[in-house]
């Protein structure tokens, strides 16, 4: 007989008349790995915050280990053994690993004086729980994303965690780092700790979870054993739509390249990189996190200019030393981190959409033509299906998928010839991911040259006709995706 550790029944929650949760249920058993899935805005985060005491439900009950919880606070949840590891890990980047690990313990015990010896011992015990090797005196800002996540897990285990909620834990991890995280999760399960794994990545759900629960539009759609699922069912439960696999095949590829890169080198990042991109095709670039793939995108756009080599646009050598040079050459970049590099989040959706074409919308006296601006905003919102009640709302009110559509809309309003995308669907749910891929394929069919830089191999295989594999800053292999699969590409990456 399975024993429930946490049971949510008939939970409702509204914000200013918007129903975030409509009577949802969730049952997590002791010592199990349970996946909570759903598209952005489905209510996953709201339920997590109710379980952890950040929000109070409008109706419904929460039980933990058989006892009903009434109006718990975040401190109450922690004392019960409920720990949440959010996407940003909630670590203090300016403090050391030791300080991050020991600070909560010191505060919980209401200590007024710092005892460095005691703090070091607390930190050592914390990292020993998962055999995590790290310099305790290193500032957290110097750690990799995977290492920051390990710090957050160690900190969670310090408070006798019984339920650890991991909110999209693999968003910024490489495949190798994801596997290391899964090994840790399995060790925690072996210790009797329950894991609520929040994700919308199909392969990860099938690989790590035993049972699943799927929300859509604030409602419970399906719960059950993961072995009962397949990818088609999972996608349908999440989105309410059925997607037929679509392998992109270029229809008309130009004879001459739109973008030609010759022996491009950025010291310490990549070396002697050469390739060509033609109108009408989508080319992929993949590699591990330290392969130089992200830095290549920055060099092409002039954010971090190359030290040597040539970039040619439509056959003409172009000296790209800053983003303005790239834009003049009709080359745009959708950056890896849309939140800090691609958008002005506090500004309105409409401001973000037209920021790159301000000059074109201005009249003779450099005054914005309001009618032209309004028509352009309406066109972009409709064309990219940006889900918003009002484009005057702040961009930060949008889901991840809609934010990415704004970034795409911003650049495509500039009539680009070449679009470079670094991690184009990171943190984007299944439905939006499919829609973004469809947009990119239609752009290529319309004559644009598209370069996708990503470690998402299914994304590369579905959308690209060729893939370049980067390893240690050099192109190790160029393949036709019709002759490749994930295993073959990985063999050249590792």
pLDDT: which is higher, 110 or 327: 327
- The mean pLDDT of 238-243, rounded to a whole number, is 86
Write the pLDDT tens digit of every residue in 64-108.
999 998 888 988 998 899 999 887 678 888 899 999 888 877 766
So where are the chain's domains? 4-239, 257-493
What token pair was written down for 458?
Answer: 């299914």
Locate the DSSP E strands across 51-132.
59-64, 67-69, 82-85
- pLDDT, position 410: 87
- Do the domains at 4-239 and 257-493 have one common CATH topology? yes
pLDDT: which is higher, 111 or 465: 465
3-class secondary-structure state, position 386? coil
Q: Is the pLDDT of residue 205 over 90?
A: no
- pLDDT, position 1: 62
CA dist 264 and 134 (Å) reads 35
pLDDT band, very low/low/confident/very high, at 275 (cuts 50, 70, 90): very high
Q: Is the pLDDT of residue 172 over 70?
A: no
CA within 13 Å, CB half, 23: 0
What token pair was written down for 191?
Answer: 């210790």
For the ranges 68-77, 111-120, 167-176, 214-223, the lowest mean pLDDT is seen at 167-176
pLDDT: which is higher, 296 or 415: 296
- pLDDT, position 115: 81
176-177-178 Cα angle (round to 5): 90
Count other C-beta atoms under 10 Å from residue 360's C-beta: 13
Can you give the pTM of this predicted structure? 0.75
CATH superfamily of 4-239: P-loop containing nucleotide triphosphate hydrolases (3.40.50.300)
Q: Are 470 and 313 in contact (CB under 8 A)?
A: no
Residues forming a β-bridge with 284: 452, 467
For the ranges 26-40, 81-95, 247-261, 263-277, the lowest mean pLDDT is seen at 81-95
Write the pLDDT tens digit of every residue in 324-352.
999 899 999 988 777 677 788 889 998 88
CA dist 384 and 382 (Å) reads 6
Mean predicted lDDT score pLDDT of the chain: 88
- pLDDT, position 13: 95
**Which DSSP string corresponds to 267-326?**
TTTEEEEEEEEETT-EEEEE--TTSSHHHHHHHHHTSS--SEEEEEETTEE---SSHHHH
First-last CA distance in the chain: 44
Of 3.40.50.300, 3.40.50.720, 1.10.10.10, 3.40.309.10, the CATH number of 257-493 is 3.40.50.300
- The mean pLDDT of 370-377, rounded to a whole number, is 87
């Amino acid at each position: 007989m399975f024993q429930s550790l946490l049971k949510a029944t008939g939970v409702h929650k509204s914000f200013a008349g918007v129903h975030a949760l409509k009577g949802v249920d969730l049952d997590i058993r002791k010592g199990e790995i349970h996946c909570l899935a759903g598209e952005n805005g489905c209510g996953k985060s709201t339920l997590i915050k109710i379980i952890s005491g950040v929000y109070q439900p409008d109706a419904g009950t929460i039980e933990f280990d058989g006892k009903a919880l009434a109006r718990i606070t975040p401190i109450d949840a922690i004392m019960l053994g409920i720990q949440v590891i959010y996407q940003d890990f909630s670590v203090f980047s300016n403090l050391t690993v030791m300080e991050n690990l020991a600070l909560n313990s010191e505060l919980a015990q209401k200590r007024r004086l710092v005892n460095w010896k005691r703090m070091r011992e607390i930190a050592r015990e914390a990292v020993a729980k998962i055999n995590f090797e790290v310099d305790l005196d290193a500032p957290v800002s110097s750690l990799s994303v995977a290492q920051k996540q390990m710090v957050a897990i160690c900190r969670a285990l310090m408070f006798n965690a019984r339920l650890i909620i991991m909110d999209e834990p693999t968003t910024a991890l490489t495949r190798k780092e994801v596997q290391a995280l899964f090994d840790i999760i399995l060790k925690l399960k072996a210790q009797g700790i329950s894991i609520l794994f929040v994700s919308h990545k199909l392969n990860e759900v099938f690989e790590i979870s035993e049972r699943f629960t799927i929300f859509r539009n604030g409602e419970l759609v399906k719960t059950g054993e993961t072995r009962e699922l397949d990818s088609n069912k999972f996608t349908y439960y999440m989105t309410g739509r059925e997607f037929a696999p679509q392998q992109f095949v270029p229809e008309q590829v130009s004879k001459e390249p739109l973008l030609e890169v010759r022996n491009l080198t950025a010291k310490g990042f990549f070396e002697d990189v050469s390739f060509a991109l033609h109108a009408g095709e989508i080319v992929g670039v993949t590699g591990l996190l330290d392969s130089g793939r992200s830095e290549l995108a920055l060099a092409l756009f002039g954010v971090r200019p190359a030290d040597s080599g040539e970039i040619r646009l439509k056959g003409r050598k172009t000296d790209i030393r800053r983003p303005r040079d790239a834009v003049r050459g009709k080359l745009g970049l959708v950056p890896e981190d849309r939140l800090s590099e691609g958008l002005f989040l506090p500004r309105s959706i409409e401001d973000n959409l037209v920021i790159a074409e301000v000059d074109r919308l201005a009249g003779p006296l450099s005054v914005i033509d309001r009618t032209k601006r309004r028509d352009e905003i309406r066109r972009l919102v409709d064309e990219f299906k940006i889900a918003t009640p009002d484009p005057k709302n702040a961009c930060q009110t949008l889901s991840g998928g809609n934010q990415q559509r704004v970034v795409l809309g911003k650049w495509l309003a500039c009539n680009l010839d070449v679009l470079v995308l670094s991690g184009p669907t990171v943190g984007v749910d299944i439905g939006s991911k499919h829609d973004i891929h469809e947009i990119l394929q239609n752009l290529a069919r319309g004559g644009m040259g598209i370069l996708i830089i990503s470690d998402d191999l299914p994304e590369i295989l579905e959308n690209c006709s060729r893939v370049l594999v980067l390893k240690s800053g050099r192109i190790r292999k160029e393949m036709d995706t019709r002759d490749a699969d994930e295993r073959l590409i990985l063999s050249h990456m590792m």
